[in-house]
Amino acid sequence: MTWVNAVIQGLLLGGQYALIACGLSLTFGVMRIVNLAHGDLAVCGAYLGLVLSTALGVPVWITLPLLLPAAFAAGVLLQVTLFGRALRHGVLAPVLVTFGLSVMIENLLQEAATSDPRGLNGGALALASFRIGSQITVSWLFMTAFLTACAVLSGLQLLLSRTSWGRQVRATADDLDTARLVGIRVRPLFATVAGIAVATAALAGVFIGTIGTFDPYQGTNVLIFAFEAVVIGGLGSLWGTLVGGMALGVTQVVVGQVNEAYAVLAVHLLFLAVLAVRPNGLFASHQAASQQLGALG
């Protein structure tokens, strides 16, 4: 593969990372919860896609109209039963609860599906590619993942800026106490946000499962990559997450060209470097960043 090819593939890979990351970013921005089970929920999406596409005998894309609403419902359920209650038990509780949830999900998947790596049936799309010029080959799957990520981000951005719901979400993210005071019903709002977060995670999981393989314990790595994309891009910025994701993707693919074993390490080191030099990330909204970073000496 040429370097140009590698860079392009890395940029497109960034779309996938952004897709996983946007749900994480949304939950944190609105509810101040870092959902440590987010990556595992993405992997659950992949497993659900496997079950549905095997049962129906179709490529996994056809199952999305069933899969996405189910994921949304799961998010609402989790919010109502777990995350909402955790918020009432102090600042540390959501972190502890979501980590515990992550452990439960990973091991339940292990019991249900064994640790064999799986792949999803991507149909014809998974195999197709197109050429630009003589040097560059782009897989349609990567391109679709990237375009889907852009579409989802745009959709979220529109929802947030143009709808009444979006206004209420942004107001709640700014100031929860005052939002309640002016009559915003915060509980249903949180439930819909959680639903969207899990639905986007599941969608990302489907892409992960089609492009590569997945297994029960992959969720933690997925979480880490999503988190790194958010931090590099800057807390509070959806499109920043895309840039963060692309930085990760390019690093991973380009370093992987040189030495496969060092690819993931390079990504983590990039994250640590950004944390050291520009802890606010590249596009942070000042408010969100200062809320999270406890730089008190």
Query: Both tokens of residue 71?
Result: 């994921």
Place of tokens 């992550």: 102
**Min CB(186)–other proteins separation in Å:** 9
Between 146 and 214, name the residue whose CB sits nearer to other proteins.
214
Between 67 and 253, name the residue whose CB sits nearer to other proteins.
253
Say which residues have a Cβ less than 8 Å from residue 1's Cβ, sequence separation at least 6: 9, 257
Residue 202 to residue 128: CA distance in whole angstroms: 23
Decide if 239 contacts 48 (C-beta within 8 A): no
Between 2 and 221, name the residue whose CB sits nearer to other proteins.
221
**Min CB(116)–other proteins separation in Å:** 14
Place of tokens 């393989």: 213
Residue 218 to residue 40: CA distance in whole angstroms: 7
Between 90 and 133, name the residue whose CB sits nearer to other proteins.
90
Instruction: Report the half-sphere exposure of 262 (CA within 13 A, side-chain side).
Output: 9
**Min CB(249)–other proteins separation in Å:** 17
Between 129 and 178, name the residue whose CB sits nearer to other proteins.
178
**Min CB(103)–other proteins separation in Å:** 3
Between 254 and 268, name the residue whose CB sits nearer to other proteins.
268
**Min CB(25)–other proteins separation in Å:** 11
Helix (H) or strand (E) holding 62: none
Residue 118 to residue 114: CA distance in whole angstroms: 10
**Min CB(45)–other proteins separation in Å:** 20
From residue 277, how far is each of 210, 228, 274, 282 by CA, in Å? 36, 14, 5, 11
Residue 48 to residue 66: CA distance in whole angstroms: 10
